[in-house]
Structures are given as C-alpha cells and as structure tokens.
C-alpha cells in the first residue's frame, strides 16, 4: 500500500472502535496536507528568492532589500503552516498557492519601499507592476478555491491577511513619498485596530457574512493607494484620493461594527 493512501477498513484491528479509525484517518490527512503544503511553499520560496535577487539587481537595491523580503516571506509562510489546522482538505490547493505568491510579491514591495530607499524618489514601474499583479491575482484565488472545492476558513483568512498587509504597506509608502500626511496610516491600520478591539469588545469576534461591499471597498483601497504612488499624482490630488479611501474604509468598518453590536443585543 502506498504511504499516501489513508488507512482502510481492512486495517482495523479486532475490537478497534470507529473513533480510533476516524482519528487515524484524520492524522493521515493532516500529514498529507503538511507534506503537500511544505512542498508547495518551499518551491514558492526558492523561486521568490531568485526573483528578489533579479529585481534587486534591476533596481540597484542593496542586499538589505532581498534579506528583508526573504525574512518577511519566511515569517508569513511560517504563520501559514501554523494555521494549517483551519484547512480541512488534504491539499494546500491552487488558490492558496496563488495567495502565497501574492504574499511573496507583497513582501518584496514592502522591502523595496521601506528598506531599499526606493521611496526617496519616484517609484520604479516594476514595483508598481508588482502591486498591480498582486491585486489582479486577488480576484483569482477565490475563484480557484470555489472551482476546486477547496474553500476553507484558513484560505479566506490567509487571503484577507495578505490584503491587509498590502494595504498597510501601501499606506506607509504613501507617507514616505509625501503623498499624504501621517493620517494616511489609518487606512492600513484599520484592520489591525479592529482585531485589537476584539480583545476588549468580544462581540466583534462574531462571524460576518460575506459582503460584496466589503470586497469592493478593499479593492478600491488598494487601487486608490496604487494610484497615488504614480509620479504625476501629487498633493493636493493625492491627498484627496487618500482621504476618500480613508472615508470609504471607515464607513465599511463602522457598518460592520454597528451590525455586530445590533446582533449582540438581538441574540442576548
């Protein structure tokens, strides 16, 4: 029997109860998922390092950019492996692979903007292109998850956290480029503030139903922040765009908080 086959009924010992068999099958699935995930993430990491080196050479960035991007991606992938129990399938899946590739792009973008001193002038087109591709791929991973029937809470959270990190790094970049004041960081910190608020307001931990409004505003945030990175977009135009983006995301979070608060009193 192949080591990739789950335990069969014929392997059940006399007197063995069903929970034991179920536990063995679950353990096998977890091992299979871990092996499949490690193989996929290792390949993504190796290819990412090679891409980082090529991009750094193109941008004439120092070794710090590659090192920071590599460490950031490693940290993200380590968190992914830790969160694997939330993925109830035997395969990591193409959707999560796409999200991991997006995480790789986001890691290099952040390193280039913050460590690589790219923000001391105009943003190179290749850096903006990375963000645009990461944004475009955001519409693919969800489709692949549904198409392959590998949807999971893990995949949804992974995708959301990569989006949140990208928005935060774009906000930091907007500040470094002088496109808006320090208040622009509120756009990127909104998600993390919401998570922090859950520690003192437990009702915020209640699940939220999927929302087109939420997804649309997330895309608008990234698009708006990408737009103000362009050389020709300067204050007051860039400031106005950032202010609109902040107003939209504030509205979105406020709507969710009000909904959760009402839900709390309804179910109390």
Per-residue pLDDT of the chain (268 residues; tens, 9 = 90+): 433 333 333 333 333 343 445 556 667 778 889 999 999 999 999 999 999 999 999 988 888 999 999 999 999 999 999 999 888 888 899 999 999 999 999 999 999 998 876 555 678 888 989 999 998 898 888 888 888 888 888 998 999 999 999 999 999 999 999 999 999 999 999 999 999 999 999 999 998 888 889 888 988 888 999 999 888 899 999 999 999 999 999 999 999 999 999 988 776 5
Report the pLDDT value the prediction gives residue 118, as an integer from 0 to 100.
57
- Rounded Cα distance between 77 and 47, Å, is 14
In angstroms, the Cα distances linking 71 to 22, 166, 169, 267 are: 38, 16, 16, 44
Candidates 60, 49, 67; CA nearest to 120 is: 60
pLDDT value for 105: 97
Closest CA to 117 of 171, 198, 61, 169: 61
């Amino acid at each position: 029997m192949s080591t990739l086959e789950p335990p069969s009924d014929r392997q059940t010992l006399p007197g063995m109860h069903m929970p034991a068999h179920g536990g063995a099958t679950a353990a096998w699935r977890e091992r299979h998922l871990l092996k499949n995930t490690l193989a996929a993430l290792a390949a993504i990491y190796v290819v990412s390092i090679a891409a980082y080196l090529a991009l750094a050479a193109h941008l004439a960035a120092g070794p710090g950019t590659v090192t920071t991007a590599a460490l950031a991606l490693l940290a993200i992938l380590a968190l992914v492996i830790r969160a694997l129990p939330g993925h109830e399938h035997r395969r990591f899946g193409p959707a999560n692979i796409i999200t991991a590739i997006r995480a790789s792009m986001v890691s290099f973008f952040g390193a280039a903007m913050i460590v690589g001193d790219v923000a001391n002038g105009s943003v190179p087109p290749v850096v903006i292109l990375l963000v645009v591709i990461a944004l475009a791929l955001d519409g693919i991973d969800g489709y692949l998850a549904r198409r392959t029937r590998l949807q999971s809470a893990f995949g949804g959270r992974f995708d959301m956290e990569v989006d949140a990190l990208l928005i935060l790094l774009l906000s930091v970049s907007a500040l470094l480029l002088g496109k808006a004041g320090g208040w622009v960081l509120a756009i990127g910190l909104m998600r993390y503030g919401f998570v922090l608020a859950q520690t003192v307001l437990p009702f915020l931990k209640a699940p939220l139903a999927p929302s087109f409004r939420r997804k649309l505003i997330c895309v608008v945030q990234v698009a708006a922040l990408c737009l103000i990175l362009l050389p020709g977009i300067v204050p007051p135009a860039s400031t106005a765009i950032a202010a609109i983006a902040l107003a939209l995301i504030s509205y979105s979070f406020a709507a969710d908080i009000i909904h959760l608060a009402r839900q709390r009193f309804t179910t109390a």
